[in-house]
Amino acid sequence: MQKKHELTYKSLKDYCSTSKFNFETTKELEPTDKGIGQERGIVALEFGLNVDVNGYNLYVEGPSGVGKTMYTKNYLDKISKKKKVPCDWCYLYNFDNPNEPIALSLPARSGL
């Protein structure tokens, strides 16, 4: 006997009719560089990446598969073309104090 608020496995499955789509395969669709359903996260990311303050960092987190890495990379590719290339930073072992590495700033692309 089913309890009042208990769901059956059939009630948890949703069906989507293919008649709702006007394409045969997804190859016909234009790729998107926007995160789908992540409007608040996109606004926060774009705001954070445009803050021009030394020491300001961003942390992006969320479930796997929602497009956060793809959108972040695409947006960085877009805005990086308009910005100055930053210096490379290398951290050297400090033999006098191993817990405090020595930070060395080098011209962009020379710290490879």
pLDDT, tens digit, for every residue of 61-106? 888 888 888 889 988 998 888 888 888 999 999 999 999 999 999 9
| Domain extent for 89 | 85-112
Q: Is residue 37 part of a domain?
A: no
Q: Is residue 100 part of a domain?
A: yes
Q: What's the number of domains the chain is made of? A: 1
Q: Is residue 103 part of a domain?
A: yes
Q: Is residue 102 part of a domain?
A: yes
Q: Is residue 93 part of a domain?
A: yes
Q: Is residue 28 part of a domain?
A: no
* Residue 107 pLDDT class (50, 70, 90 cuts): very high
Spatial separation of the C-alpha atoms in residues 14 and 20, rounded to whole Å: 14
Q: Is residue 89 part of a domain?
A: yes
Please list, in sequence order, all residues whose beta carbon lies within 8 angstroms of the beta carbon of residue 36, skipping any fewer than 6 positions away. Answer: 67
Q: Is residue 52 part of a domain?
A: no
